Structure 1
Amino acid sequence: MKKIILTVAVAILLFGLPSCSSDNAASGNYSYKVRLTDDPGPYSEVNVDIQAVEVTGGNGQTVTLNTNAGIYNLLDFTNGVDTLIATSTLTDSRVNQIRLILGTNNTIVANGVTYPLSTPSAEQSGLKLLVNQTLQADIDNSILIDFDANASVVQTGNGTYKLKPVLRTVVAAISGNITGSITPAGALVTVSATSNTTGLIYTSNVDAEGNFTITGLPPGSYSVTLTPLLPLLPVTQTDVVVQAGVNTSIGVIAF
């Protein structure tokens, strides 16, 4: 099966980088895990055929991780749920790049109908997840790939869809989450968190039980807006403070 290498350029600056000025990465054994999560989208299923995960270290060498190859429905991993897709023990303490290798069996389900997800030829040459991660010995080092199902699927015509992956990487140790719920449950509501410092916007949807989680937020102050379908009006909470490694709850929002 022909494989498509998808690469998405996303840079992350990590805290606590070594003070040593040498370009040589430290040697040792470093447990490393790659997990997958999703920002929800307006489909019943978004199925991605993941065949392999590769990482490139600070020494320039590329290693193929032990990958749980298969087809993953991204919508199974929303609102804080994730799954392990690859793991290995690395000898390089730095990870500079992650690359997903996908098969061709990518599909979506919309209104009960399954459609193939084609990939534009311009992206088949490869896009990369660029990271700057320093690993520590004797702990489980991990990184979370947030695959935005909504932004990654483009409808180009009647029954024609293209996969244009929009991904970002999240290091849990230096990021936090915002959680909450709505009442009554069952309303169709989107949730956005806007950084009061950078203006960057992070989004999620409320699930059928009325709960939501926005993951991988850099520490700081945010304005959180819940937007239901008309005629209901949006509700905004300002100055929501996010701390690294902490779930910040904004409670129950009534509509």
Structure 2
Amino acid sequence: MRLLLPCLTAAIATLAGCGKDNDSASNMAKMEVRLTDAPGDYKAVTLDVQQVEINVKGDAVDPQGWQTLTLLKPGAYDVMSYTNGNSALLTSADFPAGRISQIRLILGPNNSVTTKDGQIYDLKTPSGQTAGVKLKVDADLTKNVTYALVLDFDVAKSIVERGNWKPGNDKKERFLLKPVIRTVANAVAGGIKGTVTPAEARPTILAIRTSVAPNDTVSTTSDAAGGFLMSGLPAGAYRVEFKTIAPYKNAVATPITVANDQISDMGKVNLN
């Protein structure tokens, strides 16, 4: 039996890593799906995570609207390990900019709970939930911005103990899994774009985040038309350096500030 759970990972303590993208004409946003947990009175709660699907067309009835994401590690996740700001990265993918409407997490059959005394019990799925539990997302994605979508799994409310179960009864019948999930979408990184002239200079471009110590550095090169884009940059102040060879000149741009939900445009940078 497979359980469909909606999933959206909330803005979670671990920010999206810096990346680079040389396609300045891109209309894509990057999205991370993460798993976190509100603490509960158990030693461990293991979810058999098999698949994540996101609706990118805004029409849950249209099967073409669902996009399946490849998990970094399908299988068992002890959600009790991801509390107090910790999270598990399930998947990361590029999506067309615009609205996403729903998300769901598909679980396999090997879900379990470990009680404080060390006993392990299967988590049984009520028959009414086998068709899936869906959550609305209604998040607007901006191109080239990185987002964290968090599935905040409330263990205390999601695991229900049968009132008539007694020691000696079938262990598989003690607990039911009735997921209670809070979903949040936050932008966690922005970027810097611009155009170098002449395009033939093809410089190496460094974005150095000066607002942290030690400084973070992300690099890229311009494309054939002179355009460049560095996305997935955490918020902060940056110094942007352009390094090329003669007859072109190196350059250092005026300090630029990156916000999580924006792509800062440097305009044209002259290397003559």
- What residue in structure 2 maps to residue 138 of structure 1? 144
Instruction: Tell me the CA shift for residue 132 of structure 1.
Output: 0.6
Query: Contact 2:33–2:92 at 8 Å: present in 1 too?
Result: yes
> Percent identity between the aligned chains?
36
Find the residue that maps to 2:104 and give its secondary structure: strand
- What residue in structure 2 maps to residue 67 of structure 1? 71
- What residue in structure 2 maps to residue 39 of structure 1? 38
Query: Contact 1:6–1:125 at 8 Å: present in 2 too?
Result: no
Instruction: Tell me the CA shift for residue 59 of structure 1.
Output: 5.0
Superposed, which structure 2 residues align to 1:161-240 within 5 Å?
Answer: 161-173=175-187
- What residue in structure 1 maps to residue 48 of structure 2? 49
Instruction: Tell me the CA shift for residue 140 of structure 1.
Output: 1.2
Return the letter of the residue paired with 1:119: T
1:103 aligns with 2:108: yes
Determine the C-alpha separation between the residues in 1 that align with 2:183 and 2:106.
Answer: 16
Q: Deviations over 1:76-118 (max 9, x none)?
A: 0011111111221112521100011000000010111110000
Instruction: Tell me the CA shift for residue 172 of structure 1.
Output: 3.9
Q: TM-score, normalised to structure 1's length?
A: 0.57
Instruction: Tell me the CA shift for residue 65 of structure 1.
Output: 1.1
Determine the C-alpha separation between the residues in 1 that align with 2:133 and 2:159.
Answer: 16
Query: Contact 2:100–2:140 at 8 Å: present in 1 too?
Result: yes
Determine the C-alpha separation between the residues in 2 that align with 1:28 and 1:173.
Answer: 16
Instruction: Tell me the CA shift for residue 171 of structure 1.
Output: 2.6
Find the residue that maps to 1:171 and give its secondary structure: strand
Q: Deviations over 1:22-75 (max 9, x none)?
A: xxxxx9212111111100000000001110000001354110112131111010
Return the letter of the residue paired with 1:169: T
List runs of 5+ in structure 2 lacking aligned partners: 9-25, 60-64, 189-259, 261-272
Q: TM-score, normalised to structure 2's length?
A: 0.54
Return the letter of the residue paired with 1:166: V
Q: Which has the larger radius of gyration?
A: 2
- What residue in structure 2 maps to residue 231 of structure 1? none
Query: Contact 1:54–1:64 at 8 Å: present in 2 too?
Result: yes
Return the letter of the residue paired with 1:67: L
Find the residue that maps to 2:143 and give its secondary structure: coil
Higher relative contact order (CA 8 A, sep 6+): 2
Determine the C-alpha separation between the residues in 2 that align with 1:141 and 1:103.
Answer: 27
Q: Is the strand fraction higher in 1 or 2?
A: 1
Determine the C-alpha separation between the residues in 2 that align with 1:78 and 1:8.
Answer: 16
List runs of 5+ in structure 1 lacking aligned partners: 10-26, 175-244, 246-255
Return the letter of the residue paired with 1:108: V
Determine the C-alpha separation between the residues in 2 that align with 1:32 and 1:8.
Answer: 13
2:128 to 119, 122, 126: 122
Q: 1:101 to 1:132 in 2, by over 3 A?
A: same
Query: Contact 1:67–1:86 at 8 Å: present in 2 too?
Result: yes
